[in-house]
Amino acid sequence: MLRLSPSHDKGRGTLGYVTEHSGRRPKLARRVADAAEIALTARKYVTFIDVVTGLRWLHTRHVDVWRQGRAATLAELAAVDEDRLLTAAALLREWATAKGLRPVDVPYTAGTRDRRELRFTSKDGQDPFRVHWLSPDLSEARVRRLTEARSKPPDLVAVAPLDAWTCAACGDTGPYLIMEDDRPHCLTCTDLDHLVFLPSGDAALSRRAKQESGLSAVVVRYNRRRKVYQRMGLLVEEAALAAAEERCLADEEVRLRRRERDRVRRAEQDVEFQARMAAEIARLFPGCPEPRAREIAEHAGQRGSGRVGRSAAARALDENAITLAVIASIRHLDTDYDRLLMSGVPRMEARDLVRERIEHKLDEFRSNVRA
């Protein structure tokens, strides 16, 4: 259940000490504020996870591992120590309090059979990390939906491992593993071997099969190239899958029409976003030709591209994210970067070789004279 977070100002414990001395770390305070502002702009609330991933102390893949119950604490996966995480939590609280955000305490639960509460650090007291800071502009309906969503237990997670593994209970193996007591177990030992696999691809079928199934698990696999866990599908009861298929057949035509309307609406939203992004490029880089600004915005802001223009920071029209999009365009169109890569030059070395040219072009774009 979500509940209003109690004040953390009582006493002179670790958190109070860190907060009291946060003035010694103005640079970190600015970085925390920047990361929090981006998350707040994107979805009207901020979490500690948003901040530490924004600071690059943790990657989303680390958060995935933790949520799957495959790490005892989040801190052991972080690039900084536990005291540094406490400092960030304290700075987030100070920033959020100054902004007038509403604190809501949210328990984090592991995607394991025991549904245990996840721990952020090895220290006592997880409250500073669990707080969600909600914008006062967030509607009551949104708050209610958020409350309902966060109150639900997380999906069970079954991992499709890339390497050979052994069940901690029976010594056997299998196509999927479930974590219990921080150790891998096979589907048979976790009483999930009666479930069938439904691949991703049909959102309506997946959603309905999960609704019909009394027991289900999300199947993920680690992508070594992208360094993230990717959803592969669901494990559901066979009867539930059959029932879901019947429901999908019954309203297939209606769903096709709805998808077409949604496609048109998303395209219109993309055009509006890309226009705002092009205008921001023109403001930050007045010397950039208008067609070039539009081209950068259209390329970087393409839906589903995974480019910097689709990041939360870019959607909030963050100056750094916009600048990165412009730099990427210059790197590929105005330097020998691509030719260097094709000739076998390592990526980071190639970037060093074209850095001066990029800086020169950025200075040209920042001037008030259109190229």
pLDDT given for residue 64 in this prediction: 84
E runs forming strands in the chain: 3-4, 45-47, 102-105, 131-134, 157-159, 178-180, 183-185, 196-199, 217-223, 228-236
Cβ atoms within 10 A of the Cβ of 174, count?
19
At 171-198, the pLDDT tens digits run 999 999 988 877 899 999 988 999 999 9
pLDDT given for residue 162 in this prediction: 93
The Cα–Cα gap between 366 and 363 comes to 5
pLDDT given for residue 263 in this prediction: 72
pLDDT given for residue 127 in this prediction: 77
Q: pLDDT under 70 in the chain at which residues?
A: 1-25, 126, 150-151, 153, 266-269, 301-317, 369-371
pLDDT given for residue 140 in this prediction: 84
Put simply, whether the predicted model's pTM sits higher than 0.75 gets the answer no
At 292-337, the pLDDT tens digits run 998 998 887 665 545 555 455 555 567 888 888 899 899 999 999 9
- Rg (Cα) of the chain, in Å, rounded? 24
